[in-house]
Amino acid sequence: MKPPHHNTQINGVGNCKGNFSHPHGDWNAFLFQRRHLFIWFLAALIPFAVVRSYFSHSPAVYQVETSHEEASVQTPDERSTPVPILNSTRDSWVGHNSSAISQDGDCDLSTGDWIPDPSGPFYTNVTCRAIQEHQNCMKHGRPDTDYLHWRWRPRSCELPRFNASSFLELMRGKILAFVGDSIGRNHMQSLVCLLSQVDDARDIYKDETDKFRRWLFPSYNFTLAVLWSPFLVKEMTKKIEGSASEQLHLYLDIADKKWTSQLHEFDIVLLSGGQWFLKAAIYLEKDEVIGCHYCPGTNFTQLGFYFAYRKALRLAFKSINTSPDYKGLTFLRTFTPDHFENGRWDNGGTCERTVPYKNNEIVMEGMNTEMYKIQLEEFEKAAKDGAARGLKFRLIDTTWASLLRPDGHPGPYRYSHPFAKDKNAKVQNDCLHWCLPGPIDAWNEFLLEMLKRESM
């Protein structure tokens, strides 16, 4: 087959013709043509390079959809409709709120990446006795360990690894109280484990439900308390008339005295929560029903759980700000996403991922976004009110760091060796709480860093 004859014409350069496949052509003319062609090619690339450089330095707006369901404990009919908001909007909230929560020059701990960390955890299920069974992933036979080898690195600074001696020295003679739900207790147990590697904690109080507990670190006279209050306000469960079923009632104008009555004892209070507000409930103020969340068969106004959470959080902050005897430092740890995929907690949802998400692999949207937004808005109001009264409020923003860790949950290993008898067994997963040791140990690195800032 005869080789093809190539005629090349370049607009804007001239009419250059040459038989590039012919061995007897004018070689100098050929080189002249190639030189002009190359110069034109470089000139043509300049506009594209400029455009690409501009966009490569612009903030990214991630639009990757996630496959997990945000509301893991309710059916779709029980949820309020969320407004999806992408990471760029979340970043604007953090920036807008930062002046109220940090000193000038402080690094924003809330945005960053999980990077490999070969050093591993500070403790194991053998060296810490405070791990609750459902979060004891090592003991229960979780086969992978890669989830233990990541460290949170903020974008613009270094977050030091946890130093138990430094933490205990800062807390010498003080009482720190965690107020919230089971994730708050999960967080507290992580801190007990971290500190116990330096000073053996003594379990000095535990109620009959194991929901109110105190640990003493005797060498530092430091007490760590956990108080169960998933709604932060008064709650009652009442039987539905004519039925054996019970209905949750939340009194949105009455703070839960189980924690507010102890405020005067504490030097530091760390509030958290939000997940329990997804439960169906009747809402009351002044002992009168004002509405509900998921109350079919009634004529109550459907207010939704966002309404109730905002009211409860606002009242909790008000209780702190108006307490005559509390002069302490108040932290709010932000909302914790779950990572259920292919269903909810009660209908087969799982969390089988074994590595963290990268920043461009997921967005924060739906319920996570709405709850987070409520927290930031109510926190900022409370911080201003508190400052006028001489009280300090600080935000521990762990939401984004937590969202990136679908690999850190017990999953099926909330149970001991769930696949020992049947590798295909159907097991209810826990994709909300966290393995200990695990990613939430980093929450205490956030806490320590913020305490160090307060001591400066």
Active site residues: 182, 430, 433
DSSP 151-174: EEEESSS--PPP-HHHHHHHTTT-
If we measure between CA atoms, which residue out of 397, 251, 381 comes closest to residue 320? 381
Contact assessment for residue 436 and residue 185, using Cβ atoms and an 8 Å cutoff: no
Residue 305 amino acid letter? F
Do the beta carbons of residue 224 and residue 206 sit within 8 Å?
A: no
On whether the CB atoms of residues 368 and 403 are closer than 8 A, the answer is yes
Cα–Cα distance for residue pair 443/110, rounded to 1 Å = 10
Q: Distance between CA atoms of 334 and 369, rounded to whole angstroms?
A: 11
What is the chain's percent helix, strand, coil content, to nearest 5?
A: 35, 20, 45
C-alpha to C-alpha distances, 127 to 121, 138, 188, 192, nearest whole angstrom: 11, 12, 16, 11
With beta carbons less than 8 A apart as the criterion, state whether 432 and 338 touch.
Answer: yes
Is 132 exposed, middle or buried (CB count within 10 Å of its CB: 0-12, 13-18, 19+)? middle
CA distance 129 to 109: 30
